[in-house]
Amino acid sequence: MSQRIKLLLSLMGCILLTQCEKDDVCVEGDTALLHIAFYDKDATDEQPQPKAVNKLRVISVDEDSTVNTFTDRSTQDDILIPLDSRKSFGDFVLISNSATEDDLETGQIEDLRITYTPEAVYISRACGFVGQYADLEIEQTRLTSWISSIEINNTKIDNSDEIHVSVFH
């Protein structure tokens, strides 16, 4: 009888050990966001000086809504903008000193067209594919604006931590 119990316990132990699966947890990947930093256009140092934008509002024209990666109408010296991996461009409105008067948007308005090449990059079985973007270009489409100039620091968006675009105002 004790041999049957030992055999049964051994068999159950083998079954339990072979039924365990590798724990798949994704910690490495997420779709990268466009990181934009704002700098003082009048700074005389070699190193650009951060300059916050007061009451900044960013509207995605394609989504017809404000970007939700930061608090709307807050003062920011850098922002993250999500790009649509199903398209090769996005139109955005950046508004400095944003306010609403009589249901109309007021403030200094800048229209930007951001073009890019979406890429799906395989990370792992747990993470699957994440979106990255290459060939980044930005075009100012408004003639009068609060933005003095735009510099693209990196045309490949594969990491949300690094600054891809510097905006001088």
In this predicted model, what pLDDT tens digit does every residue of 54-66 receive, in sequence order? Answer: 999 999 998 889 9
Instruction: Confirm whether 46 is domain-assigned.
Output: yes
pLDDT for res 130: 87
Q: pLDDT-derived band of residue 151, with 50, 70 and 90 as boundaries? A: very high
Using one digit for the tens of pLDDT, what is the confidence trace for 60-104? 998 889 999 999 999 999 999 999 989 999 999 999 999 998 888
Instruction: Confirm whether 13 is domain-assigned.
Output: no
- 138 contact partners, CB below 8 Å, separation of at least 6: 112, 113, 114, 115, 150, 152, 165
- 156 contact partners, CB below 8 Å, separation of at least 6: 132, 133, 134, 136
Q: DSSP 3-state helix, strand, coil percentages of the chain (rounded to 5)?
A: 10, 45, 40
Buried b (16+ CB within 10 A) or exposed e, 69-82: eeeebeebebbbbb
Tell me the β-bridge partners of 153. none
Residue 98 is part of a domain; what is its CATH number? 2.60.40
pTM for this prediction: 0.81
Domain that holds residue 29: 23-168
CA distance 1 to 148: 88
Instruction: Confirm whether 12 is domain-assigned.
Output: no
Question: Given the DSSP bridges, would you call strands 78-81 and 74-76 parallel, antiparallel or unpaired?
Answer: unpaired
CA distance 57 to 63: 14
The count of structural domains within the chain is: 1
Instruction: Confirm whether 15 is domain-assigned.
Output: no
